[in-house]
Structure 1
């Protein structure tokens, strides 16, 4: 146990590569917060049909959720990043390393826990489309904070959380029913779907060449179908990298449901530089 604690501590160091901090010094104390997922809103078409048929519709409430909020020093308002975890729940890199890194870069960070209140276990056999509504519940929660500039909030997800990130920021999706919108999106190894539709915000996709869970070629084909008149989409494919290439907890590699998850320090560093530059480009004042 002592060795694990020392290893985790080393990961929280400040390392600078080409002027970009990858690991961050400890940020302000993490705050546990509670909020609700965005309720599943009724479309204008559904409302109109109900009125025509004399049907009374009820609005479903949101799901109570647990989150972890971290802030930079100062009063702000700051840009912010909402983080969505994958099917392995809140691993170290999502719950601690990425928030500390992002706070060091100047962002308020809200990590969304989509499993605990739903009493779900880590199970990569399930799908959780509700994460889209969790993301907008988090965005609504941040809109009430004076330390957040709600016009400059990014959505960032990992694996299934990355897939939810793409679904949450697509045209003609649930995004159009929400009051607040995400300014941009970052998706680490999502499952790209040719039928997902065009993005509603600038998007950065980061994926490993050897990832046979979230396949790079599907993302390439999906992007090839997009027109030139929408928000920009950047796809970075890292040669030789597998799923979870940014997560140091997979240094030794792991096989899950026939898929390899393995940390790649070179790909991780390159991806962090891309995320840093991408967020600076779209969330700067």
Structure 2
């Protein structure tokens, strides 16, 4: 199995507004092959968070944005989700390959998808995780790869476990090629003032009404990431933290995960 390193406590120095401390285990795991012809396997690093108790617990895999492995996915969301009773594995796709953020050779490839399934397989093998109750959440770049590479997969070629549900934050909804019957439950959370991403998510509501779509009013791209506030995204989009939008998105996520990861 993949090694689990000693426990560590992460205290974010990147944002003053982060008051909580998250205790996690640093882990490494192989990413998954996509089909028999795919021979490339990488060792991927991440942080594993676990609620108090023996479990078994449902779990969530987190895929970061173009901003890379920041406190947004290394403590903010893990703190919230473990508080709800979920095991969380936050995947460091860029850092595992020597990059901090976009642009890099891995931001537009299937690497995110392979890493997500590797994380899923790792979690499914843990005795404290319920292997048939694992969801995936992605942000911006991570959301794009959920839409294009994970949602369309009804059964994995390898026969391995599949995700029970997916949540995509401010990604490109136009990346969803189809949504046939039997697709995993999917929720899109978009930001009203994100003029690059939000319009496609508005359109997807009529194309695929089974997809749950929420457009958060008065919010910009990366509204839930304090350290991204005031910066520009990969395509120049404005990013601005919004506490009320974050609270709304967290509540939507809580309800969605409770619905689809319940026994």
Q: Which TM-score band applies after superposition, normalised by the shorter structure?
A: 0.7 to 0.9
1:153 paired residue number: 134
Within 5 Å, which residues of 2 pair with 1:107-186? 107-124=86-103, 126-171=107-152, 173=153, 175-178=155-158, 179-186=160-167
CA–CA distance in structure 2, aligned partners of residues 131 and 71 of structure 1:
23
Match in the other structure for 1:197: 178
**Superposition deviation, residue 7 in structure 1:** 5.3
Contact 1:168 1:175 in 2 (8 A): no
DSSP 3-state at the match of 2:238: strand
SS at structure 2 position matched to 1:196: coil
Structure 1 unaligned regions, length at least 5: 14-25, 43-57
Cross-structure match for 1:211? 194
Q: What is the SS of the residue equivalent to 2:116?
A: helix
* 1:64 matched to 2:10: no
Aligned-partner Cα distance in 2 for 1:166–1:97: 23
Answer yes or no: is 1:32 the counterpart of 2:9: no
Question: Does structure 1 residue 281 correspond to structure 2 residue 244?
Answer: no
- Once the two structures are superposed, residues 29-67 of structure 1 have per-residue CA deviations (whole angstroms, 9 ceiling, x without a partner) of 31111101101213xxxxxxxxxxxxxxx6504211001
Change (3 A) 1:174 1:151: closer
SS in 1 for 2:122: helix
Instruction: Report the equivalent of 1:53.
Output: none
* Distance in 2 (alpha carbons) for counterparts of 1:140 and 1:278: 22
Which residue of structure 2 aligns with residue 265 of structure 1?
Answer: 243
Partner of 2:58: 79
Whole-angstrom CA distance in 1 between matches of 2:71 and 2:14: 14
SS across alignment from 1:123: coil
CA distance in 2, matches of 1:270, 1:161: 20
Residues 267 and 279 (structure 1), Cα distance of their counterparts in 2 relative to 1, 3 Å cut = same
- TM-score of the two chains, using structure 1 as the length reference: 0.79
Given the superposition, is the C-alpha separation of residues 194 and 91 from structure 1 closer, same or farther in structure 2, using an over 3 Å criterion?
Answer: closer
**CA RMSD after TM alignment:** 2.2
Moved over 6 A (4+): none
Structure number with larger C-alpha Rg: 1
**What 5-or-longer segments of structure 2 have no aligned partner?**
1-11
Please identify which structure carries the higher helix content. 1
TM-score if structure 2 supplies the norm length?
0.86
Closer/same/farther in 2, CA of residues 176 and 86 from structure 1, 3 Å limit: same
- Aligned-pair CA distance for 1:175: 4.9
Structure 1 residues 254 and 41 mapped into 2: Cα distance closer, same or farther (>3 Å)?
same
1:7-38 Cα distance to aligned partner (Å, 9 max, x none): 54x5235xxxxxxxxxxxx45x3111110110
Query: Does 1:237 find its partner at 2:237?
Result: no
8 Å Cα contact 2:110/2:149 also seen in 1: no
Partner of 1:41: 35
